[in-house]
Amino acid sequence: MFEWLNGNGHRASIQTAQTQSRSTGYNGKTASNSHHEGTGAGSPGQAFDRAGLDGTAWPLSEPMIDLRGITKVYNTDAGPFLALKGIDLRIMPGEFVAVVGRSGSGKSTLINMFTGIDHPTDGEVVVSGTRIRQLDEGQMAEWRGRHLGIVFQFFQLLPTLTVVENVMLPMDLCGIFDPAERYDRAVHLLDQVGVAEDALKFPAAVSGGQQQRAAIARALANDPPILVADEPTGNLDSRAAGDVYRLFESLVSEGKTILMVTHDRELAAQAPRALTLADGEFVREELRPTLFVEQPAVTLAQDSRGIIAAQHAIASPN
């Protein structure tokens, strides 16, 4: 019995006869007691305007990110290149998941699928209950601005704007918060990530670690339920990388769902759930409970299709 505190501090445990590190063809699903307050159900065509607006909680039994049989083929001069091979992935509300793989393994293509930057050749992408291929470009842009916060390896802060103006920019583009509130909210977010003192500086005047913290604040500007981090520590030293990882942990404790893509195996090894991507398919899943506490339990079971399913269970008092 492996027992730990999940993202919201609730007690949980894993019962499994399998090892905590196992090779799979992988179709993942685990349970979480965390949730993001502010996302609710709706029809696929309307889902893009509901996050954080209707006050309802996303159902804990429904995946926040659901990739179903995702295949991506690129046509090149050398012929078709299969970048993703029938990927199935389910990420539940409040999970912190790391995807690790070498360059060329398909990590960036995977991110492009569920952020709507690119579309699969085959398969379905459902994020926050929205089948995102049904959205046109305008709807996609608005949906992405409200549902996803994206953290890039190279920060992508606009050099002609101050740090606080960079954080305000997503609010200006999506029009979610009252204009009079945006500056104060941006400063508050910068304070949360520890760089409020740099609010009026330009990006070039602060360190790489501080720029990445500011980029995380910008990703949180519209209070999205999902944070996507693409090689977030790739340009940071080990100390700054550790600070960013601990910041992610604190965001999960507040109910965010985080998917971090990285080539750094040491960083991925710290995540509660890590998936290894190689040659366009998942080849390994690792679960890492970090704190042993008391029950109730979540039991991991493998169904007839090879899907890892989460089953709630009440553990014995002893």
In this prediction, residue 243 has a pLDDT band, given cuts at 50, 70 and 90, of confident
* CATH for 178: 3.40.50.300
137 within domain boundaries: yes
Is a pLDDT exceeding 60 seen at residue 291? no
Whats the size of the chain, residue-wise? 318
Is residue 77 included in any domain, yes or no?
A: yes
- Assess if residue 276 is contained within a domain: yes
Q: Look up the pTM and report it.
A: 0.71
Structural domain including 76 reads: 2-313
8-12, 46-50, 231-235: range with highest mean pLDDT: 231-235
Q: State how many domains the chain has.
A: 1
Q: What is the pLDDT of residues 194-239, one digit of tens each?
A: 899 999 999 999 998 899 899 999 999 999 999 999 988 888 888 8
CB count in 10 Å sphere of residue 314? 8
**Domain-located, residue 257:** yes
Residue 222 falls inside a structural domain: yes
Does 318 reside within a domain? no
Predicted confidence at residue 181, as pLDDT, reads 95
69 assigned to some structural domain: yes
